[in-house]
Chains A and B, each alone.
Chain A
């Protein structure tokens, strides 16, 4: 008989809601059943009432961390509907925003991931480094989180030479830090014991369940929109796809750390090669679109982001569909938790970089006794740390 562990929602005001029911036997998880849809905001329907120019400003409120990716992806789709091409300087600045955002998102995630494992020092360090990225965003766009940098046919603000110099300086600083984090994650006994051979997603499963982003690249699948279908200026930039074969939580961590390094290289290249000229083309706020449909894909920090637009010739879209990366990465969790300890659930869920999750509540039902118990995410985190304190030596022997 198995034991059911309810893991999830609901507290829309706090962290993001998702529900899991984990079936467990003793300390091991046998199966997982995800529940989604606790926080339906109706953004796709609301987008149908916005003009083409206004769509992006609502789209960037879909996610607080990848707002630049949503904003850029949305306007990339609108540009395909209108069949217009932004000027080159505009494309360079757009790519700069995307890459800077990837750095800030991965640093944030790295901190959260190590926080789940109880390594709070690195959590403080990475968030401090992320703060400098936020400052760069504030200087460039005028806001820290919701940048509103893109518009139909280009970007809204230009970057100065002084800013580019500052960006290069930041790249030099961050490169040192990234090397330090990589060395630390690879050599520290705590991180190795918590991440190595934990939550393995095999290459076959990653392909079958259509995982996206660093989750799938950690399992050896070469899947990246920047690699498959280069947009922006990625086809000219020194972009290299980062892939690791192991598929465990450690591989996902290393993939993300290495992606920060790739982003740094791209930012340096942009700072050196940005052409002069116009940043946007003129666009009327009440423009009528031709009858058309378009799909726009962008590699957001968490994976592939997709926008679909349909126009019937009006000033607003007639249908909008958004597919965010985390939705594709929920099903792989089922395969990843199979046969793992309860104490590893926080690390496994965090390893996909969940944008909906940060689950607030957990219910445990014992199949033997029929008992049920509700735990918050925080309780589970404390439980996992206590459990690891007791079982550290045996787990370490088992894994290393």
Chain B
């Protein structure tokens, strides 16, 4: 087929199609199940062992003092601006206290503003 033939065929075919792009800020895009987004820490399950901070390849996890956590008295704090979202912390957590949610809206005016979601119950 000649170039003109292609052009005509493509133009007629595409003319009746819907736009392929999504109007993103106005239409929400849902991430697939299993997406590695914002980290969710369940404080009720955490024992403060610090294994997550040791396995983290990006050194994005800091152990901060928290009296409510027993027996260690400290809990992980995730600096998500430094995180590489590899989910090793969730994989190696012995109590299953760390999960990665499908929330991909990770933004903030300062790097320190982008942090994990903490669930106390």
Contacts and interface: CB of A to CB of B under 8 A. Distances in A.
A128 B20 CA distance: 8
A290 interface: no
Which of under 10, 10 to 19, 20 to 34, or 35 or more describes the interface residues of B? 20 to 34
Contact of B57 (A54, A128, A156): A54
Contact of A143 (B6, B20, B36): B36
Contacts of B91: 156
Contacts of B31: 138
B22 to A, nearest CB: 10
Interface string A41-54: 00000000010011
A190 B57 CA distance: 48
Interface in B54-95: 54-55, 57-58, 84-88, 91-92
A44 B52 CA distance: 24
A54 B55 contact: yes
A57 B3 contact: no
B107 interface: no
A50 B84 contact: no
Contacts of A142: 32, 34-36, 87, 100
A148 B20 contact: no
A157 to B, nearest CB: 8
B84 A61 contact: yes
A285 interface: yes
Interface string A36-69: 0000000000000010011001100100000000
A138 B85 CA distance: 13
A146 interface: yes
B86 A139 contact: no
B4 to A, nearest CB: 11
Interface stretch (A181-189, A207-215, A340-348): A181-189
A286 B34 CA distance: 27
Contact of B86 (A57, A121, A138): A57
A285 B57 CA distance: 11
A153 B26 CA distance: 43
Nearest to B85: A143
Interface string B5-19: 010001000000000
Most buried by B among A58, A138, A142, A183: A142
Contacts of A57: 57-58, 84, 86, 88
Interface string A131-147: 00001001100110010
A157 B34 CA distance: 10
B57 A146 contact: no
A61 B83 CA distance: 12
Interface string B80-116: 0000111110011000000010000000000000000
Contacts of B100: 142
Nearest to B100: A142
Contacts of B84: 57, 61, 146, 148
Interface string A171-200: 000000000000110011110000000000
Given A54-B57, A138-B35, A146 B3 contact: no
Nearest to B56: A54
Contacts of A286: 54
A139 B57 contact: no
A173 B100 CA distance: 32
B32 A138 contact: yes
Contacts of A135: 32
A79 to B, nearest CB: 18
Contacts of A121: 10
Contacts of A156: 87, 91
A53 B92 CA distance: 12
Contacts of A183: 1
B55 A139 contact: no
Nearest to B7: A121
Contacts of B87: 142, 148, 156
A143 B35 contact: yes
A61 B91 CA distance: 20
Nearest to A180: B6
Contacts of A53: 55, 88
Given A57-B84, A138-B35, A142-B34, A188 B57 contact: no
17 contacts: A53-B55, A57-B58, A58-B57, A135-B32, A142-B34, A142-B36, A142-B100, A143-B35, A146-B84, A148-B36, A148-B87, A157-B34, A184-B6, A187-B1, A187-B3, A285-B55, A285-B92
